[in-house]
Amino acid sequence: MPAERLSRSTAPRPGVGIVHLGLGAFFRAHGAIYVTEAMAASGGDWGIVGVSLKSPTMRDALKPQGCAYTAVELGPSGETAQTIEVIEDVLVAREDPEAVLDLMADPRIRIVTLTVTEKGYCHEPATGALNLAHPDIVHDIAEPLPVSAPGFLVRALQRRKKAGHRPFTVLTCDNLPENGRVVRGVVLALARAIDPGLADWIEREGRFPSTMVDRIVPATTDADIARVEQLTGRHDALPVLHEPFRQWVVEDNFVDGARPDLAAAGVELVEDVTPFEHMKLRMLNGTHSSLAYLGYLAGHETISETVADPAFAAYVKGLWRDEIIPALEAPPGVDLAAYADALFKRYANPAIRHRTWQIAMDGSQKLPQRILGTLATNLDAGRPSPGLCLAVAAWMRYVGGTDEKGEPIDVRDPLAARLKALCDATDDPDTRVRSLLAVEDVFPPALADRLAGPIIAAYRKLRAVGARGALLELTGVAS
């Protein structure tokens, strides 16, 4: 007999106060849970309406179960499930952009949060500037019904200004350094292209606090859905699974101070999030990407499987010790070596099946924030970075679309076709590396010139002995 479908409880529902753009697994396993706990502690009308910018999949799965879903914590010693009911509705922007704008323009909405991934900001990752030639941005300048996340922010703020309402706070939750500054710059650039007076109003009255978010959330599989049904006795079409650890650091800078009682839920409210951002982007995301490309090439499916390999364990510990921590300023009260030890334990958690292929997606958007900043700092300090150069070389081999066994790689990246064409144009390793380093969307030219020598050497090493062989030589671990 099939299990009963998950449904929302009959408890009173809060009013809506937040719109979230890009309603995916991460926000449902992170921000939505924090908001749930903040309201449980201190009340307030902070219910969330999620917006899928393109696909109806999320809406079609969640609406039949009242937008409730199961969040399962995957601890080393077992699994713990809870039902989250903070999502009040899900809209699909491509189907009805007018409904999304109407909602965002409603003065009840005081915060708009985003997890649209790096590519969703339609910016140049190497500089942070809005790409005015991006097709979605070209559309959103010309048309009042937008398609991009920046377009929805700007057009909704335009409606609020016209109606005499206060702006909402824009709270990005994506892994970008100084993410609040980046989204502010993107929004202001787009607004200025539409209406300079609107841009002036947003610049004066708007708030764009930066944030740092951290929780490992693997993609949910059909097997996970079956496992959650067995665990809870109810069928949930779209559960989320996550590690026990979580962190959310937020600059306390909201329009009129309007926000949930985030501190009551454990959010760290700070004046400047930058040191926390750099720590997390470089120590967690930087090593995650490094392990993803090298691990995938070596045949490892998940991060926990990858760090169970002694060569990779020695590699990532060496990255932290010798290349990343020396390039960082520790946030107040944080021991970076202890943070690295905690990260390794999280990576090694066998209950978290975070696939190397999943982490490897959109590398052209991620490398500048996760790895290139550390490389630039080390170059300026005269510090070698052989491990990070090897990671960049592994990315270059990965985007070529063929693994070490000659099997095709399903490369998911906004620049995938362009990168593969550059790889296919030559088999000479020096020329291939220089061609990829010339992609200014990823590599600032001055940095690319300084990286050419060490990355060419690392790429040759990968071609000669493979990913694991290169790590064995780098770390000195016996095979």
| 122 Cβ neighbours under 8 A, 6+ residues apart | 130, 131, 134, 136, 137, 148, 149, 150, 186
Model confidence pLDDT, tens digit, residues 429-461: 999 999 999 999 999 999 999 999 999 999 999
Mean pLDDT across the chain: 96
Rounded to whole angstroms, the Cα distance separating 281 from 149 reads 22
Residue positions counted in the chain: 479
Q: What pLDDT, on a 0 to 100 scale, did the predictor assign at position 1? A: 56
69 in helix, strand or coil? Answer: strand
What are the pLDDT digits (tens) for 88-119?
Answer: 999 999 999 999 999 999 999 999 999 999 89
Answer whether residue 176 shows pLDDT above 90: no
End-to-end CA distance of the chain: 51
Q: How confident is the model at residue 478 (pLDDT cuts 50, 70, 90)?
A: confident
Enter the tokens of residue 288: 């995650």
Task: Looking at the structure, give the CATH architecture of the domain made up of residues 274-475.
Answer: Orthogonal Bundle (1.10)
Q: Is the pLDDT of residue 479 over 80?
A: no
Indicate whether 51 pLDDT > 60: yes
How confident is the model at residue 435, as a pLDDT?
98
Asked if 463 and 432 touch (Cβ cutoff 8 Å), the reply is no
Q: Percent of the chain having pLDDT more than 90?
A: 94
Q: Is the dihedral of CA 57, 62, 67, 72 positive or negative?
A: negative
Could you give the CA distance from residue 326 to residue 331 in angstroms, rounded to a whole number? 14
pLDDT (tens digit per residue) in 20-43:
999 999 999 999 999 999 999 999
* CA max distance for the chain: 69
Dist. CA 251–CA 145, nearest whole Å: 31
Q: Residue 232's pLDDT is what?
A: 96
Q: Is 325 left (phi over 0), alpha (psi -120 to 50) or beta?
A: alpha
DSSP string, 392-404: HHHHHHHHTTB-T
Cβ neighbours of 98 (radius 10 Å): 10
* 45-73 average pLDDT score: 97
Q: What is the DSSP string of 214-280?
A: E---PPP-HHHHHHHHHHHSEE-SS-EEE-S--EEEEE---GGG----GGGGT-EEES--HHHHHHI
Cα 81 from Cα 232, distance rounded (Å): 7
Question: Could you say which architecture CATH assigns to the domain 4-270?
Answer: 3-Layer(aba) Sandwich (3.40)
Among the ranges given (126-130, 224-228, 409-413), the one the predictor scored with the smallest mean pLDDT? 126-130
Q: Write down the pTM of the prediction.
A: 0.87
The mean per-residue pLDDT over the stretch 128-132 comes to: 94
Query: What are residue 247's DSSP bridge partners?
Result: 214
In the prediction, which pLDDT does 77 show? 81
Q: What is the dihedral of CA 350, 351, 354, 356, to 10 degrees?
A: 20
Buried b (16+ CB within 10 A) or exposed e, 13-40: ebebbbbbbbbbbbbbbbbbbbbbbbbe
Beta-ladder partners of 225: none
Q: What is the average per-residue pLDDT within 334-360? A: 94
> What would the mean pLDDT of 166-187 be, rounded to a whole number?
95
CA distances from 412 to 119, 187, 264, 358, 379 (A): 12, 26, 39, 9, 30
pLDDT more than 70, % of the chain: 100
What lies within 8 Å, CB to CB, of 361 at 6+ separation is 412, 413
Residue from 377, 401, 411, 73 nearest 232 by CA: 73
Helix, strand and coil content of the chain, in percent to the nearest 5, comes to 50, 15, 35
User: How many C-alpha atoms does 161 have within 13 Å on its Cβ side?
Assistant: 19
| Distance separating alpha carbons of residues 212 and 250, to the nearest angstrom | 7
Going by C-beta distance under 8 Å and a sequence separation of 6 or more, which residues neighbour residue 111? 17, 18, 19, 46, 168, 169, 171, 254, 258, 259
pLDDT category, 125, cuts 50, 70, 90?
confident
Q: Where in the chain is the domain with CATH 1.10.1040.10?
A: 274-475
Strands 247-251 and 211-214: antiparallel
- Number of alpha carbons in the 13 Å side-chain half-sphere of residue 70: 27
Report phi then psi at 201, rounded to 5.
Answer: -65, -45
- Band the pLDDT of 353: cuts 50, 70, 90: confident
Report the amino acid identity of residue 369: Q
Which part of the chain has CATH 3.40.50.720? 4-270
Asked if the model's pLDDT at residue 127 lies above 90, the reply is no
